[in-house]
């Protein structure tokens, strides 16, 4: 297995397609991390945090999301496809790890998806002890020309699968040269996408716009990591949105020099240690309340 998984499984998704679930797990996990990957990426990208947390007693499970299963160009029918499949994945996790506490982890687009799941599809689920998000893709750092923005819905309808012109950012995801080399290898093998469609871009833009003002009603404990040198997500705008979450629910960390992929950055062990401390506190509270 290419990303040091302990095993693979499959998820029957809402479109009827079976997609791979990548699983990293200790022999007796104490909790499970339900992980949602970023846009143009894949579930194997979670190998770095998954191996760290496996040694601490946490299983990590992630699946290759709709539009991202070995495709060079990402396309989705709608953003709701991510949410429908997220619900199915949570059910799979509960069947596979009955009774274990669950933490939802999302990076970039996965953080945007997990935020919508927490607001709309996972209403105060007692098994979910908190959400961990990295560089949430709430607001674009790359400014799109106003004309293209105004035409995006029309283009998505008339040319849904046409390619969106994108800046080349593989070198601006992490300062770790080994992981950057892995990303290039994944792109070469079409495991990591290099193109997106107008429909995909428009669906994400609509999901971003719809999130405005909603985080004040966020219901779960949240651990948020924001990268200051982020070329994809607007760190300043994201920080402002996150700070509308009720203070008793939010633990916020800002790393000014990090590129977009906090979980793959050179200081990742420092971040993982803080996440572990936060998760342990959530588990202790759940045990005290039991």
pLDDT of residue 164: 80
**DSSP letter at 221?**
-
pLDDT of residue 34: 98
pLDDT of residue 156: 61
What contacts 7, CB < 8 A, 6 or more positions away? Answer: 1, 23, 25
pLDDT > 80? residue 289: no
Q: Helix 146-158 to helix 198-210 angle, to the nearest 10 degrees?
A: 120
Domain boundaries of the chain, sorted by first residue: 7-289
**pLDDT grade, residue 160 (50/70/90)?**
low
- As a whole-number percent, the residues of the chain with pLDDT over 90 amount to 84
pLDDT > 90? residue 287: no
- Mean pLDDT for 89-101 is 98
pLDDT of residue 147: 45
- As a whole-number percent, the residues of the chain with pLDDT over 70 amount to 93
pLDDT > 90? residue 235: yes
Task: State the DSSP H helix or E strand holding residue 207, giving kind and residue range, or none if neither.
Answer: helix 198-210
102: β partners: 32, 128
Encoded tokens for 64: 């290759």
Encoded tokens for 62: 């992630």
Can you tell me whether residue 184 is helix, strand or coil?
helix
Extract the runs of DSSP E, i.e. beta strands, from the chain.
Answer: 7-12, 18-24, 31-36, 58-63, 73-74, 102-107, 128-134, 195-196, 222-227, 250-255
Superfamily (CATH H level) for 7-289: Alpha/Beta hydrolase fold, catalytic domain (3.40.50.1820)
**pLDDT grade, residue 71 (50/70/90)?**
confident
Please report the sign of the dihedral spanned by the C-alpha atoms of residue 250, residue 217, residue 104, residue 207.
negative
pLDDT of residue 84: 98
Determine which of 157-166, 237-246, 261-270 has the lowest per-residue pLDDT on average.
Answer: 157-166
Mean pLDDT of the chain: 93
Residue count of the chain, please give it. 290
pLDDT of residue 155: 61
Task: State the DSSP H helix or E strand holding residue 202, giving kind and residue range, or none if neither.
Answer: helix 198-210
Report how far residue 160's alpha carbon sits from residue 78's, in angstroms, rounded to the nearest whole number.
11
What contacts 151, CB < 8 A, 6 or more positions away? Answer: none
Determine which of 106-110, 113-117, 216-220, 282-286 has the lowest per-residue pLDDT on average.
Answer: 282-286
Encoded tokens for 149: 């923005």
pLDDT tens per residue across span 46-68 = 999 999 999 999 999 999 999 99
What contacts 39, CB < 8 A, 6 or more positions away? Answer: 68, 74, 108, 109, 137, 196, 200, 204
What contacts 158, CB < 8 A, 6 or more positions away? Answer: none
Phi and psi at 199, nearest 5°, equal -65, -45
Encoded tokens for 87: 């619900």
Task: State the DSSP H helix or E strand holding residue 49, giving kind and residue range, or none if neither.
Answer: helix 47-54
């Amino acid at each position: 297995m290419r990303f040091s998984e302990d095993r693979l499984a499959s998820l029957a998704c809402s479109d009827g397609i079976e997609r791979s679930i990548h699983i990293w797990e200790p022999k007796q996990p104490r909790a499970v991390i339900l992980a949602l990957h970023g846009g143009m990426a894949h579930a194997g990208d979670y190998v770095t945090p998954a191996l760290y947390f496996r040694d601490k007693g946490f299983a990590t499970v992630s699946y290759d999301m709709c539009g991202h299963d070995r495709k060079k160009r990402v396309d989705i029918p709608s953003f709701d496809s991510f949410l429908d499949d997220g619900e199915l994945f949570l059910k799979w996790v509960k069947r596979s790890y009955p009774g274990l506490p669950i933490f939802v982890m999302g990076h970039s687009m996965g953080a945007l998806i997990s935020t919508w799941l927490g607001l709309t599809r996972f209403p105060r689920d007692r098994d979910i002890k908190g959400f961990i998000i990295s560089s949430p893709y709430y607001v674009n750092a790359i400014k799109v020309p106003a004309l293209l923005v105004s035409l995006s819905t029309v283009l998505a309808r008339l040319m849904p699968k046409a390619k969106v012109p994108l800046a080349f950012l593989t070198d601006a995801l992490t300062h770790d040269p080994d992981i950057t080399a892995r990303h290039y290898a994944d792109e070469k093998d079409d495991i990591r996408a290099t193109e997106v469609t107008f429909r995909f871009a428009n669906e994400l833009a609509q999901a971003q716009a719809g999130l405005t003002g909603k985080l004040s009603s966020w219901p779960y404990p949240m651990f948020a990591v924001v990268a200051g040198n982020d070329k994809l997500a607007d760190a300043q705008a994201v920080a402002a949105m996150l700070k509308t979450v009720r203070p008793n629910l939010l633990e916020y960390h800002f790393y000014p020099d990090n590129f977009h992929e906090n979980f793959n950055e050179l200081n990742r062990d420092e971040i993982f240690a803080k996440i572990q401390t936060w998760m342990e506190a959530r588990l202790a509270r759940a045990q005290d309340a039991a």
